[in-house]
Amino acid sequence: MQSGVFNLEEKVALVTGGASGIGLAAAERLAEFGAQVMLLDINADQGQQAVDRIVNNGGKAEFYLCDVTSQSECQDVVNRVFETFGHLDVLFNNAGVIRRQTVVELAESDWDIVINVSLKGAYNLSKFAIPAMVKSGGGSIINTGSGWGIKGGDRAAAYCAAKAGVVNLTKAMAIDHGKDNIRVNCVCPGDTDTPLLREEARQLQQEEGAFLVSSATGRPLERLGSPRDIANAVLFFASDLSTWVTGSVLVVDGGGLA
């Protein structure tokens, strides 16, 4: 167990999309530094496997089946966690999906799922987590944006719109809830080696290996991100090293937007 300035002992953290990718890496990192981590996901099998992995490595974790597009499910999870532990300290709004299509190609249902998971999901959890954090004396909310929430990308119209919304939602929430000692920040990953990135290759009908190589091309650091790279930024925002940081958008992309 780690300690020092990153010490998260006695902290309770919710992580959405926690069964894999960036969500799992962040949950592992927060647990490594002492947090009691609640993984939220719609994949029960992967979620329980993720919890077992964290617990087997000495961390504290539980899994909650939760569809972040459902406000009632989000409310129920927050209520259950608060009733169990008496406080809520960290929320990592990370769940997201992508559809690699232009607005002309997009079906309305695909537009809706991207916006609802990535943007509405952050709203749904925050709506109920914030009052719990107020009762806890404050907290830290971290939202997953994207480099494409700052700069547009090709054939990703819904994703770009959702992530741009997340970026500005972060700033609005930071303004509204600073008085409650709640910090709200956004981490914007570049291409990171996750199941989501590999799903993009499938949607674009490209060979996976070549797609991953092309995704790293042109970055000053000349590689893809790893989930742990992003998890380290989440750890910073969750810890006391960022006590005077709110409304911030941290790009973690190997220099891709430089």
Give the residue numbers annotated as catalytic, written as ranges: 159
b/e map of 44-53 (b: 16 or more CB within 10 Å)? eebbbebbee
Nearest Cα neighbor of 64 from 56, 76, 82 is 76
Q: In angstroms, rounded to a whole number, what is the distance separating the alpha carbons of residues 123 and 145? A: 13
> How many CB atoms neighbour CB 208 within 10 A?
13
Q: What share of the chain is helix, strand, coil (3-state, %, to 5)?
A: 50, 15, 35
- Residue 41 and residue 98: Cα distance in Å, rounded? 16
